[in-house]
Amino acid sequence: MLCLLAARHVSARILPSMATRVRFAPSPTGFLHIGGVRTALMNWLYAQQTGGAFLVRIENTDTSREVEAAAERIFDDLRWLGLDWDEEPRFQLDRVDAHREAAERLVAEDKAYVDEGAIRLRMPGEGETQWTDLVKGTLRFANADVKQALRPRDDPSAPGDMVIVRADGRPTYNFASPHDDVLDGITHVIRGDDHVSNTPKQLAVMRALGAEPPQYAHLPMVFDDSGKKLSKRRGAASLQELEARRNEPLVYLEEFRAVGYLQDALINHLVLLGWSPGAEETILPLDEILARFRLEDVNPSPARFDYKRLDWMNGVYLRALAPEEFADRLVAYLRQEGYEWDEARVRETAPLVQEKIARLGEYPAFAGFFFQSAEDVPAAAAELDGSVIAAAIEALEPLDEFSPEAIEGALRPLPERLRLKPRDVFRPLYTAVCGRPTGPSLFHSLPLLGKEESLARLTRAGEHAATASADVRVQE
């Protein structure tokens, strides 16, 4: 038992010395899916750990402006996450000629044949195809079953040989992909679970090509909250757009970016989907992940994407940032999201919100009142309390120095004086100043607004409170 354990770890260390090459191969359809991001991450981690190369291959079927744009977005997403790749990204379509020639060679060797203009690979009808998957262990398929699956359901007399080049000359995915892997010298194919049943077909291609097959690692799927596969849907790339339909779960990396998650938190959360360091730790900075991640330890069962846990984790990372770093991130984030707010003011207010928000995207709603004038701050009458506000005005009015300490000295005694709970005093005040019952420390926010503006807001809110209660009385 002991030596078995040892062997497992030894093999993981020895294999890498043979210059591993892995690849992430997204298709350029729309946005980069978060499940794909995890696949990319695990490929990248493996390459980093083994000193190998991480390649990106765009599996495009055509070359259009859309493909170009989608590829560019994928590169941008990977760069944003810090998953930098080696060598120039490949485009599958750039190698159609090579694929076609390889297929023709197979025909010449009688390993494939032409059928109604298409080229089909002769598939073995007996025996089985098996491989040792790095995460799933030994996987085996009866060759007869593989063939059977290749026949259309309504045509049991079909040959059951895989088309590798279509009649129109375009190579098929299950031929192009393994051939690309051969051409790129890929040693480890790390990809989603949904490719398991493609693997025997691709191994058949490898075999026919006379190539040494790579190691395979099939990562379990990522499900959404409801336990279904994270589905593709219309992507949204801006905070406003996402807020408009906030009940939809995020699925694309751009969406996670748009609501203000940090790279480190996202990576930390993603790597914990299907893998655990074994020890009782949850917060793992990248260097820690790099030191401890083992592809062999990824567990084979599917995982749900836990949004609440991500929020918690993002908050942890946000709070751990040095204040200047936090401000930098916030400024960059707001700029990216199109807020043209005064940078100096954002920086001033940043320390007041750092401990309060879990995502950078919460800032506009939480601290937007700093960028509004008294008239624009919404007056939520229900939360207001005229007498409390009047007392606050009275306490603040005489202050010469409008400092946090002075304000605290003036407001802190209010609950006791009014014989109210602190909560019943401060919620109305927050509402008056921030437009909602919660916000960053009043003592620190008011000096930033200035005495005049602060009193203006309180006064205005006081009037609202008065008319509101008058309305109520009239109705009664």
Partner RNA sequence: GCCCCCAUCGACUAGCGGCCCAGGUCGCGGCCCUUUCAAGGCCGUAGCGCGGGUUCGAAUCCCGCUGGGGGCACCA
| Choice from 37, 71, 204, 303 touching RNA (CB under 7 A) | 303
| Choice from 15, 183, 237, 316 touching RNA (CB under 7 A) | 316
Nearer to RNA, 52 or 120 (CB): 120
Q: From CA 412, how far away is CA 458, in angstroms rounded?
A: 17
**Residues 222-281 contacting RNA, CB under 7 A:** 223, 227-229, 272-276, 278, 280-281
Residues 40 and 22: beta-carbon distance below 8 Å: no
195 binds RNA (CB under 7 A): yes
**Residues 319-338 contacting RNA, CB under 7 A:** 319
172 binds RNA (CB under 7 A): yes
**Residues 374-393 contacting RNA, CB under 7 A:** none
- Segment interacting with RNA, rule: CB under 7 A, options 46-54, 302-310, 392-400, 452-460: 302-310
145 binds RNA (CB under 7 A): yes
Pair of tokens at residue 337:
């999201």
CB of 470 to RNA, least distance (A): 25
CB of 139 to RNA, least distance (A): 5
From 148, 159, 180, 51, select the one nearest 113 (Cα to Cα): 159
396 binds RNA (CB under 7 A): no
419 binds RNA (CB under 7 A): no
CB of 140 to RNA, least distance (A): 7
CB of 473 to RNA, least distance (A): 27
Three-state DSSP at 234 gives coil
122 binds RNA (CB under 7 A): no
Pair of tokens at residue 464:
């609202």
Pair of tokens at residue 62:
């055509």
Three-state DSSP at 208 gives helix
Nearer to RNA, 52 or 293 (CB): 293
- Segment interacting with RNA, rule: CB under 7 A, options 257-265, 326-334, 350-358, 393-401: 350-358
67 binds RNA (CB under 7 A): no
Pair of tokens at residue 99:
């694929």
142 binds RNA (CB under 7 A): yes
Q: From CA 64, how far away is CA 28, in angstroms rounded?
A: 10
| Choice from 73, 90, 179, 427 touching RNA (CB under 7 A) | 427
**Segment holding 128, helix H or strand E:** strand 128-133
| Choice from 17, 63, 148, 372 touching RNA (CB under 7 A) | 148
117 binds RNA (CB under 7 A): yes
Q: From CA 240, how far away is CA 255, in angstroms rounded?
A: 11
Q: Nearest 10 degrees: CA dihedral of 424, 427, 433, 434?
A: -170
430 binds RNA (CB under 7 A): yes
> What CA–CA distances, in Å, run from 389 to 284, 418, 433, 453?
46, 11, 10, 15
| Choice from 408, 448, 463, 469 touching RNA (CB under 7 A) | 408
Q: Nearest 10 degrees: CA dihedral of 174, 67, 184, 41?
A: -90
Binding mask 15-44 for RNA (x = CB under 7 A): ------------x-----------------
Nearer to RNA, 52 or 389 (CB): 389
φ, ψ dihedrals at 420, nearest 5°: -125, 160
Secondary structure, 3-state, 51-70: CCEEEEEECCCCCCHHHHHH
406 binds RNA (CB under 7 A): no
9 binds RNA (CB under 7 A): no
Q: Nearest 10 degrees: CA dihedral of 327, 332, 333, 339?
A: 100
Q: Give the CA angle between residues 169, 153, 142 to the nearest 5°.
A: 85
Number of Cβ within a 10 Å radius of residue 452: 10
79 binds RNA (CB under 7 A): no
CB of 340 to RNA, least distance (A): 26
285 binds RNA (CB under 7 A): no
Nearer to RNA, 213 or 220 (CB): 220
**Segment holding 389, helix H or strand E:** helix 386-396
CB of 310 to RNA, least distance (A): 8
